[in-house]
Amino acid sequence: MIVPDAAKAETEIPATSWRDALAVYLQPRVLIVMFLGFSSGLPLALSGSTLLVWMRESGVDLGTIGLFALVGTPYTLKFLWAPLVDALHVPVLTRWLGRRRGWLVFAQLLLIAAILLLALTDPARSPLFVALGALLVATASATQDTVVDAFRVESLPESEQAAGMASYVAAYRVGMLISTAGALFLVSGFEGLGLAKPAAWMWGYAAMAAMVLIGMIAALAATEPEQSRRAEAATSGESALNRVTAAAVGAFTEFLARKDVWAVLAFVVLYKFTDSFSGTMTAPFVIDLGFSRNDYAAIVKGVGLAATLIGGFAGGFLARAWSLPACLWIGGVLQAVSNLSFAWLAFVGMNQWALALAITVENFTSAIGTVIFVAYLSSLCQSPLHTATQYALLTALAAIGRTYLSAGAGFVAKATGWPMFFMLSVLVAVPSLLLLAWLQRRGHFEGVGRREAAEA
Looking at residue 451, what is its pLDDT?
46
Binned at pLDDT 50, 70 and 90, residue 386 comes out as confident
Q: What band does 169 get if pLDDT is binned at 50, 70 and 90? A: confident
Domain span at residue 274 reads 247-456
Average confidence (pLDDT) over 34-47 = 92
H/E run at residue 212: helix 197-221
What's the pLDDT tens digit per position in 67-95? 676 777 888 788 888 888 888 888 899 88
Confidence band (pLDDT; 50, 70, 90) for 294? low
Cβ 171 vs Cβ 305: under 8 Å: no
What percent helix, strand, coil does the chain show, rounded to 5?
80, 0, 20
* pLDDT at res. 199: 92
Is residue 283 domain-shared with residue 418, that is, in the same domain? yes
pLDDT of residue 14: 43
Indicate whether 239 belongs to any domain: no
CATH number for position 292: 1.20.1250.20
* Same-domain status, 174 and 276: no
Same domain? For 119 and 184 the reply is yes
Quote the CA–CA distance of 146 and 170 in Å, as a whole number. Answer: 18
Same domain, 29 and 158: yes
Same domain, 142 and 84: yes
With respect to residue 344, please indicate whether it lies within any of the assigned structural domains: yes
Mean pLDDT, the chain, as a whole number?
A: 82
Looking at the fold, whether 206 and 267 belong to one and the same domain comes out as no
Q: Is there a contact between 71 and 44 (Cβ–Cβ < 8 Å)?
A: no
Of residues 145, 223, 222, 162, the one with CA closest to residue 378: 162
- % the chain with pLDDT above 90: 26
238: DSSP letter? S
Q: Is residue 39 part of a domain?
A: yes
Question: How many separate domains does the chain show?
Answer: 2
**In the structure, what pLDDT confidence band is assigned to residue 448 with cuts at 50, 70 and 90?**
low
Same domain assignment for residues 69 and 186? yes
pLDDT, tens only, 129-164: 988 999 999 999 999 999 998 898 888 887 777 778
* Same domain (yes/no): 140, 270: no
Q: Is residue 146 part of a domain?
A: yes
Domain shared by 41 and 158, yes or no: yes
| Statement: residue 334 has pLDDT above 90 | yes
pLDDT of 182 reads 82
279 burial level (CB within 10 Å; 0-12, 13-18, 19+): buried
